[in-house]
Structure 1
Amino acid sequence: PLFELVEGEGEREVVRPIFSIADILGAVMGIGKRGIEIKRFKGLGEMNPKELFETTMNPTKRKLLRIELTDAVEAEAMFTRLMGDEVEPRRQFIEDNALNVRHLDV
């Protein structure tokens, strides 16, 4: 999930996975506003093993997508530009493409 909704604390804590931003409002309205905390997972490393299994590794719930790489050199260059240590190429890419964004996960 992109988020998890946590209601209550300690032994009374109930965690509900939220799979889209649109689902947040419905989940919050459904249980009211008592003790709610909404978390967003930015990476798998932020999850504990139980959460990772329930949300990502469980064969009955996961969805596998085939990815085919057609140009490894171009893919590596883009990965380095967006995830590398140098800020300037990433900033320039964002500025050059900001108006063309169709899907944005913030």
Structure 2
Amino acid sequence: MALLDAAQGRFRAANPHSLTTGDRAMLFVRPERVEIAQNGAQQQNAMSARFLRRDLEGPFSNLHVTCEGVEFSIHQTNVRTTDYAPDETLTIHFAPEAAVVMAEGTLSDD
């Protein structure tokens, strides 16, 4: 595991390429692994984000949020009620094992 400091906060994620302190890195999290915290519960790898919009795709919803100038998508099934207002502040989070850090500028099949 590695700790990554970014404009959006400090995150813990898998470090399969053994990056070391001081290496520039990117953090990857699949949109279906990002969740919205309920009732202010404290979560690992959490950040405040501003809700932008919801796009429906059959049985799925894609929620679009922004944090520190970066737009994120959250992919979830339509079973949940997602009545968020534009510009509403949400706390989004993901599990450390759901994310991976990689050297900045590289692509991977991981």
The TM-score bracket by the shorter chain reads under 0.3
TM-score by length of 1: 0.25
Higher helix share: 1
RCO comparison, higher one (Cα < 8 Å, 6+) = 2
TM-score norm. by structure 2 comes to 0.24
